[in-house]
Structure 1
């Protein structure tokens, strides 16, 4: 049975179909949660919560073919909520290098700067540089055109660069 048929059954209340869908996408959910939360336990907890939220909201899904996107979006929203509660962004050396942060920036400075960005900018930068998603995948996840994602990414990088320059450094992107 293909995914769209499973989604249609799940929308009609078939619990087995819903569980099959969650099984199909659990790795994607886990990777997304881990990329945002950077903690295995929190990522597993996020999967549980998102599964519950998706189960409660499945009947509101309008377009069957967007089930995966809808599910990932629920995960991103959950993770953003968790990060807001914890007021933290976890950044490692690999990520620092991938976005071109110069050596004179401490990890703490970058965390502070990332927290100072708006939610969308933080989300775009996280998806692109932490989760290593392509522009096309980010556009699908955020349900917007690729050109819009590119614009948002440029604005997010510009805002990040400006905030880092205020702290006395620069961004090499």
Structure 2
């Protein structure tokens, strides 16, 4: 087991300093995720505080220490989706989706608008895959479903995104 794995094991065992070190090492990824969803630095900082609290309360639920980053990002995405539902708006960050054949033909704004029209699961899978560079295996572990299911959902999400872009008058 690597040093990160030992750190996670210590945090699961109740060692507060180990938990703090885990949160420190993943704070940039959590902040980027929060900004991508909430588009507001104050709200993103508040989201990090809330996710830190939620993660602290449920660190014992981490089953595989290798997926702690995925687990934390999943908590952040769930929190952000909850916040967006409260505001009755669903948006994704300003980042451009780097998918072959999509980003070349459409502006970032077009992609962002099209992603807002997708269902929550599709947005989540595209975000995990293309914004956080997670592998199918990691996404499957975080969503607690088979890898084949994630591949199917990812394929459907990409087709839906392309369809939305074509509806909006793209190539």
* TM exceeding 0.5: yes
CA displacement at 1:36 relative to structure 2: 2.3
- After superposition, give the CA deviation of every residue in 1:58-115 in whole Å (9 maximum; x if it has no partner): 12222233222211211121122222223131454x6279634867x9x58963x544
Give 1:38-57 correspondences, 5 Å limit: 38-57=39-58
Contact map agreement 2:92 2:116 (CA 8 A) in 1? no
Give the distance between the partners of 2:53 and 2:104, measured in 1 at CA.
38
User: What secondary structure sits across from 1:169 in the alignment?
Assistant: coil
Query: Which has the higher relative contact order, 1 or 2, with Cα contacts under 8 A spaced 6 or more apart?
Result: 1
Please say which of residues 114-123 and 94-103 is displaced more in the overlay.
Answer: 94-103
Give the distance between the partners of 1:115 and 1:143, measured in 2 at CA.
24
Give the distance between the partners of 1:20 and 1:80, measured in 2 at CA.
26
Q: What residue in structure 2 maps to residue 15 of structure 1?
A: 16
- Taking a change above 3 Å as real, the CA distance of residues 12 and 33 of structure 1, as seen in their structure-2 partners, is same
CA displacement at 1:55 relative to structure 2: 0.4
Q: What residue in structure 1 maps to residue 27 of structure 2?
A: 26
Give the distance between the partners of 2:90 and 2:31, measured in 1 at CA.
19
- Taking a change above 3 Å as real, the CA distance of residues 26 and 109 of structure 1, as seen in their structure-2 partners, is closer
Give the number of equivalent residue pairs. Answer: 166
Extract unaligned runs of 5+ from structure 1: none
RMSD: 3.3
CA displacement at 1:132 relative to structure 2: 6.0
